[in-house]
Chains A and B, each alone.
Chain A
């Protein structure tokens, strides 16, 4: 990519991540929540990959760590749901709900949003990485590095 794109991406991507985190955290007050916020943060990482190429992006945030983060996010969501059993029901909102219109309120909703946000960002990034490096295993087979069918 050209110098203009690289410079702009270098400046802007941090703000995109910040904006995405804002959307995730304020999900119970304003429109948004886990899924759109996660998509925005993932878009920032994908932007870095598009501007700088996949080697640099994968060095920063590789496919293994993306898939690990994905599973941790989902596990976090499941744990929050199971902890609701302490209040009597699955998915029960068992944390003190506080006063409305404040950031720390509404019980488990911000925590669920954060878990879903982590999951979605890792998941979308992992999907993009998987599609981008797809040819790699095929080419390594043809070059003789990797036996056919071996898992990366």
Chain B
């Protein structure tokens, strides 16, 4: 399928903390034959506000998102979590307002990167090369929120040189959960500990994910312990040559 205008919703975390993931996303999309636009007015999907209880504020950010991305044929984000927020909560947040219908339109054309590549563009081979042992942590929102198409794993397996070792419990949450990670830090840390033990068993050099939120959580603990294991976003993996 060909697209005229595809907008990148880079997400606030990628924009601020992981610009290289945004660049890799652009690189991968362009390699797949897509022209990428970056609407400059964009900021955040509002999930942090919605999940902390600030409905009115989250609704305003949802309205803003719809307004900014409405002109595009598709919206692609390197994040399962932000896309799940858009899909699961935008129509509810904007229900009863004139924006509800407009939101519905945008919601239906907002995609997570791996699902956009595999399901919409039907591209599974991006001619990437990454000669390392890797494992994959699917974010909860990718796995359960977006209904697990297995797209990300297919893409990882298509990368030349990759030695893929699955996690024993890929479905387990890493314990991030946005505000949960600070509001219930001890529980969050204990969940993260389980994830790290799982990672260790695989002997992987890199842990891949579709979400920088999980990755920064996992990496925070890896760095603190001076672990040699590295984190890498799926887009970066696919952009590697």
* A and B are partners in one complex rather than unrelated chains: no
By a beta-carbon cutoff of 8 Å, the part of chain A in contact with chain B is none
